[in-house]
Amino acid sequence: MFDRKSVTLPVYRQVAEQIAEEIKSGKRPANSRLPSERELAERFHISRMTARAAINVLMQRGLIARRSRSGAYVAQPKYRFDLSSPGGLHDQLQKAGVKPGARLVVSEILPSSKLDQQVVRKLNLGENDQAYHIVRLRTANGEPIALENSYFPTALFPDLLDFNLTDSIYGILRKYFSVEPFKSFQELEISLLDAEWAEIMEVPAGLPTLEIRRCAMTSDEVPFEYAYDIYRGDRILFTARTVTEGGSSPRQVWREALGNLHPCS
């Protein structure tokens, strides 16, 4: 039981946090049924309306899901994706013991005149340059979790489309072109999955997503990929690491990070 006087969170969020901890600790395993609103109201001595609000919070966080009229159930654990790592999704899933997969949706070569000007600018393409346009549906243990819409300069990667693009593209770039991702600039935006992308991913429209516009560069500042990716927020837990230097306080680190935010060029 929680102490209402010791915290400032609304009661429904206190209830949601306690249930979330039970899920994370394994006390409530995946696919187990969550108590009903009435049962939660009795357990926590709250109203059914407050219990319903707590359940809604858990659903929004992707920790539980409703199954028609049979009630709410604990969702499968989310996959973790470290946004601060230069490694791709394939490598991160593989290291976590998850089987990564990809299905090729689009693979083509486009002249710079057919590309969005933002892509041309980010990749430093000239008037007569071309870029590979590759769209892939990414999966984890066979489950669709992301769409990757990527552009690569053809001058850097001759015959890239001849390779197996359902494998790790970054792995191909390392092995055959000696290109190692060194850093990336990313712009993040929360949105809902639209009908067009939902149809490709074979999931319902309206799912929460994290949209990432990414420019990846080599150690000598050469941009080699510009991508627009969509990740399912209900199936992925996004993480990031912060390393302080000289004993900087968390407040100073955040202030400096916000001051340094800028799009890739």
Spell out the domain ranges in the chain. 4-74, 79-243
Confidence bin at 182 (pLDDT 50/70/90): confident
Instruction: Dump pLDDT digits (tens) for 125-178.
Output: 999 999 999 999 999 999 999 999 999 999 999 999 999 999 889 999 999 999
Window from 30-39, 78-87, 118-127 with minimum mean pLDDT: 78-87
Question: How many other C-beta atoms are found inside a 10 Å radius of the C-beta of residue 183?
Answer: 12
- The H or E element spanning position 198 is helix 195-201
CB 203, CB 144: distance < 8 Å: yes
Whether the CB-CB separation of 194 and 183 falls below 8 Å is answered with no
Mean pLDDT of 81-89: 74
- Cβ partners under 8 Å of residue 185, min gap 6: 214, 215, 217, 262, 263, 264
Higher pLDDT, 87 or 237: 237
Residue 120 structure tokens: 């041309």
Check if the beta carbon of residue 138 is closer than 8 Å to that of residue 61.
no
79-243 has which fold?
Chorismate lyase (3.40.1410)
User: What local confidence, expressed as pLDDT, does residue 122 receive?
Assistant: 95
Say if residue 228's pLDDT is above 90: yes
* Average pLDDT for 204-222: 90
Are the C-beta atoms of residues 191 and 115 closer than 8 Å to each other?
no
Question: Is residue 262's pLDDT more than 70?
Answer: no
pLDDT-derived band at 1 (thresholds 50, 70, 90) equals: low
CATH 2.60.40.10 correct for 4-74: no
On average, the pLDDT of the chain sits at 86
Give 145: exposed, middle or buried? Use CB within 10 Å, 0-12, 13-18, 19+: buried
